[in-house]
Amino acid sequence: MKIFNLRTQISLPFDHFKNLGCISGKLFGNKAWELEHTYYSGSLLDIDINFGIQEDHAGFEICLGIFGYGVHFHIYDTRHWDDYDKQWKTYPNNLQKPK
């Protein structure tokens, strides 16, 4: 669920995205956190706040960025949500969901 979103960007002929750094860790049980620093040349201003439930990697997420540089913080569930069975699924060794 999007709580708030404000994004202003310009279209450049050669948009450039780069991950400048990322740290993450486990909190408890199936909960984890991640802090990422990025650069996207087309972004002027970015404010994005989300809270997800019953979806893959559900949790709280906030992204703040200005003049291309951004910080993304996420507290999330490491499991995947199965819409068919209406329950959480855990896949061994972080393997992708079966098709």
pLDDT tier at 94 (50, 70, 90 boundaries)?
low
| pLDDT tens digits, one per residue of 32-84 | 999 999 998 888 899 999 998 888 888 999 999 999 899 999 999 988 888 88
pLDDT at 16: 85
Residue 26 in this model has a pLDDT that exceeds 60: yes
Model pTM score: 0.75
CB 32 within 8 A of CB 46: no
Residue 92, classed as helix, strand or coil, is helix
Q: Where are the beta strands (DSSP E) in 1-99?
A: 2-9, 17-28, 31-40, 43-51, 59-66, 69-77, 80-82, 87-89
pLDDT higher for 57 or 20?
20
pLDDT at 99: 47
